[in-house]
Amino acid sequence: MTQASQNDAPGASLFPQYGPDMYAMVASEVEGLTDPQLDWESDRWEWSKWSIRRQVSHMSSFVKGWLIQRWGDQLFPNGTGHLGEIAEFDRSPAGSWLNEDRFWDISVLLEQWENSIDVALRVLEAETVGSMQVKRVTAPGASEFWRLAVPAHDTGVSYDPADSDSLVLTLEGTFRHIYYEFTTHLHNILRLKRAQGLSTTVDIPREGYWVMSTWDRSEP
């Protein structure tokens, strides 16, 4: 394959991980859980400070936060009306999850998660490998999270040479970051279940931030 033909390949070819399995893995882990199990939190571990419900809500929130809010001007210059209801995005002002007055029931959160995956797939279908590697945005990077996360990316996510507190992300790097967040929060869901003495159902892909030696992989 020539460089030109590789650059013209669909963006989806870079990320075969995106698709129905991302929804199914989360849905299977929350199936049958009671409200107390979904809402259990603990200060014992850093990862247990957010309940399973909020882990799922956060996953939906950050996908649309990146693609619709931070990337929106480039990806959807004419707005998101053509995406219909799947583009609806209402983040809680009090946290990194969806508005809990509207999105609380786990079935509703799963629907939002499915919608978020659909938005991601629409972008991957519209972009090429070349465009995903060229398009860029900047984002705040002065946090302990990014200090740990940036080394997981060989390309596409780096500190701005002109501002060590800012990041430069390509669209490819952004999609890798979203996927790495997905596997890491799924790992948290499994740990939250184990902390409650509940069985888990899925094997998480060994990709993402959670497999790094510097990450907190403590277990209950």
Q: For residue 5, is pLDDT > 70?
A: no
Q: What is the pTM of this model?
A: 0.95
Burial per residue of 141-164, b for 16 or more beta-carbon CB atoms within 10 angstroms, e otherwise: beeeebeebeebbeebbebeeeee
Give CA separation, 178 vs 81, 183, 201, 215, in Å.
23, 9, 22, 17
Locate all alpha helices (DSSP H) within 88-202, ordered by sequence. 106-126, 129-134, 144-149, 171-195
What's residue 3's pLDDT? 59
Q: What is the pLDDT of residues 160-192, one digit of tens each?
A: 999 999 999 999 999 999 999 999 999 999 999
- The set of residues, in sequence order, having a beta carbon less than 8 Å from that of 55 and lying 6+ positions away, is 185, 188, 189, 192
Give CA separation, 174 vs 10, 121, 169, 183, 195, in Å.
16, 13, 6, 14, 31
Which domains are seen in the chain, by residue range?
A: 15-78+86-211 (1.20.120.450)
Q: What is the pLDDT of residues 137-153, one digit of tens each?
A: 999 999 999 999 999 99
Residue 94 confidence class, pLDDT cut points 50, 70, 90: confident
- The set of residues, in sequence order, having a beta carbon less than 8 Å from that of 31 and lying 6+ positions away, is none
What's residue 197's pLDDT? 98
In angstroms, rounded to a whole number, what is the distance separating the alpha carbons of residues 50 and 30?
A: 15
